[in-house]
């Protein structure tokens, strides 16, 4: 198995650069979505029609259980 390394030098070096990269990856992963409940789907469609949408909608599937 190939090992990859990340190195940092100088004042800007951090103790664990892989940890920092992981945090940034998680931040970027969620910045373009708006999580909504299943009960908000109609409102989301209305907002789409009005053009009042900045992010993609993602339905929280756990909200399906509370809908019954």
Each residue of 18-40: pLDDT tens digit?
Answer: 777 777 777 766 668 888 999 99
In-domain check, residue 9? no
- Tokens 């509370």 label which residue? 66
In-domain check, residue 34? yes
**Around 2, how many Cα atoms within 13 Å sit in the side-chain half-sphere?**
1
User: Where in the sequence is the domain holding 48, given as residue range(s)?
Assistant: 17-66
First to last CA, the chain: 48
In-domain check, residue 50? yes
In-domain check, residue 27? yes
Query: How many domains does the chain fold into?
Result: 1
Provide, rounded to the nearest whole percent, the portion of the chain with pLDDT above 70.
68
pTM beyond cutoff 0.85:
no
- Quick one: which of 34, 10, 8, 33 has its CA closest to 19? 8
In-domain check, residue 8? no
In-domain check, residue 51? yes
């Amino acid at each position: 198995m190939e090992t990859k390394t990340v190195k940092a030098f100088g004042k800007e070096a951090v103790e664990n650069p892989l940890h920092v990269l992981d945090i940034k990856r998680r931040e970027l992963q969620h910045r373009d979505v708006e999580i909504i409940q299943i009960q908000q789907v109609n409102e989301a469609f209305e907002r789409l029609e009005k053009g009042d949408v900045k992010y993609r909608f993602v339905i929280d599937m756990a909200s399906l259980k509370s809908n019954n």
